[in-house]
Structure 1
């Protein structure tokens, strides 16, 4: 049976329903598909789709999120490919769109993330499971916002995602939205992921500086380097998956942020 679905780029695709041969091009959405119970249906994932670990080991790797192996994807004969506007490379996605049903997400905040979970649930015939995940996410993040307000958590922060050059999460990003939910104000006013020197950052006087575990794997030594340059700021290593994965990982992120907020009072 063929069914039509509209993705978040407002494209309509026709899918053999329910899909039986799914390729996922984004780690957070791969984890979501497995958490929805699609162990057999997911046949291809990227080399960055590391959760859950047991599934990562047994599934075919079709390259990286921005360097897909198109010939390998073609050989797997998928009946559905699921990607993301920010994380995948436009020309490669457009090439796949000419041959396969490709459903794309475009996510900037929690509402977008919950909508994605619902829409993917409908796309793969797992609507009740998706609704339950959204129930948990909704309740958890409402409580997190309440907690931040109760504790007057209102601190300025810079969130580093890359080194050489230093790059930051700016406005119009999912990370920026999750910072705000947790009572934190991003000192970076530029949109998306601007470059900035430590001298420029010092002038913004952030109370907190977060060093993300991904995409650049910041470590303890980097914490010491940046603390030396910004002695007035509290510099912390943070779990990048909790701040930037927008699928079912958000359920786990709730508990992470409850603990995380306590460190910031």
Structure 2
């Protein structure tokens, strides 16, 4: 079997992979929803959905640092990575162990393409088709819902000390646009550090639950910098987990309006 991943890398598989190591939390969740939980042998410490995986699967590290010896010992048929979540060095090192599939996600179309690739690779075409169509139908419904909503200026914070936001060329920025939110930091690339003392004027400040776990107590701190803005905690998984999590995302986004 020959496949081409999101980076146009050719992957050659002797047969349908039966032992999977996933180094991407959202893609781990997708595997389970495709009916592949039993085939997963290794995951990261951040693969928290569904919750039982942490207890039942081998933890091989995080997304930026992995234990190659643990991965090798699992004898995987395929290792699943992502361009943003995992480093080039991790992909290169894992490629010495087994074939590696790398996803690259910036749009819903990219998500659907990867879901369909997984469906073909693991012979789960029917499940992949159902998940893809559900996401696309939910998106169409949301686009109808959002079309008359007022446009609001927002800043989406992912970290503090230093303060960092989501900028352009990110899946978060793409989903903000779908929500008719104008990201005031869309002129900056990726996840820039900003000088919050000179913060831009916004209608709403979003404090993400991940990777920094913003909580209620952080709202007062941000009000000092954004006195005229609404400070709102948001579920970071809905804004940054691609795959089957997107089935739930659009209903969640409606609650933000």
Please report the TM-score for the alignment, with normalisation by the length of structure 1.
0.94
**1:1-265 map, 5 Å:** 3-150=1-148, 152-188=149-185, 189-201=187-199, 204-261=200-257
Q: Distance in 2 between matches of 1:74 and 1:16?
A: 18
Aligned length: 256
Q: Deviations over 1:211-253 (max 9, x none)?
A: 0000000111111110122111111000000000001000011
**Structure 1 unpaired stretches of 5+:** none
Q: How far did 1:127 drift? A: 1.1
Q: Distance in 1 between matches of 2:150 and 2:56?
A: 43
Q: How far did 1:144 drift? A: 1.3
Q: Distance in 2 between matches of 1:99 and 1:57?
A: 24
Q: How far did 1:149 drift? A: 1.1
Q: CA RMSD of the aligned region, Å?
A: 1.0
Asked if structure 2 preserves the Cα contact closer than 8 Å seen for 1:16 and 1:79, the reply is no
Task: Give 3-state SS (helix, strand or coil) of 2:17's partner.
Answer: coil
Task: Give 3-state SS (helix, strand or coil) of 1:211's partner.
Answer: strand
**1 or 2, which has the higher helix percentage?**
1
